[in-house]
Amino acid sequence: MSCHQVLRENGHRLTPQRMLVIEALHNADRHISAEELYKQLHSRYRYANISTVYRTLELLKQLNLVTEADFGEGRVRYHVAEKGHHHHLVCRSCGKVIDLEDVALRPLKDTLLQKYGFDADLRHLAISGKCSECRKKKRGA
C-alpha cells in the first residue's frame, strides 16, 4: 500500500508539499534528515517551509510510514518504513556507516526476550565504535 493511499484512507489531504516530501524520502538511498528533505523540497518549490517538512514527517511517523533513526548527530534521520529495517555500525573516527545484516542481531533479540521478557525494537539500531581501517591506522600510528 502506497503512502498516498494511507494518507487518503486516514482522511489526510494529498498536498503537493506532502507528495514532494514522500518522493524525496523514497528516492533517498540512505536515512535522510529534515534539513536535507527541506533542501530538496525547496529546490522544487521556492516557498517550501521547514515547518511543513517537520509536520509531514510527524504525520508519516504516526501512520507508521516512516521511522526515525538516531545516529548520535544531534538530529534525527528518517527512512521509509516499507524499505525495511537497517542496522548500522557508525565509525567514531571516520564517520563511515557500515550496514549490518539483520541476522547479526537475531541472537541478541532472542536473548533479551528470553532472559528479560523484553521485546527489543532493533529497527534502525546504530552502534558506534571503530571500523577495521581506523583500527589499523591507530595501530600503525
Partner DNA sequence: TTAAATGCAAACGCTTTGCAATTGA
Partner DNA sequence: TCAATTGCAAAGCGTTTGCATTTAA
* Site of interaction with its own copies (CB under 8 A): 70, 72, 89, 91-92, 98, 100, 104-105, 107-108, 111-112, 115-122, 125, 127-132, 135
Identify whether the C-beta of residue 87 lies closer than 8 Å to the C-beta of residue 105.
Answer: yes
Q: Pick from DNA, its own copies, none: which does 140 bind, CB < 5 to 8 A by kind?
A: none
Q: Pick from its own copies, DNA, none: which does 18 bind, CB < 5 to 8 A by kind?
A: DNA
CB under 8 Å to 11, separation ≥6 — which residues? none
Cell of 13: 489531504
For residue 86, what is the enclosing H or E element?
none
CB of 105 to its own copies, least distance (A): 7
- What is the per-residue binding string for DNA in 54-73, x denoting contact by CB under 7 A? xxx-x---------------
Which residues in 28-57 contact DNA (CB under 7 A)? 33-35, 45, 47-52, 54-56
CB under 8 Å to 128, separation ≥6 — which residues? 72, 89, 90, 91, 92
- The 3-state DSSP class for residue 73 equals coil
Which residues in 69-98 contact DNA (CB under 7 A)? 74-76
Distance CA 98, CA 125 (A): 12
Looking at residue 110, its amino acid is D
Q: Which residues bind DNA (CB under 7 A)?
A: 8, 12-18, 33-35, 45, 47-52, 54-56, 58, 74-76
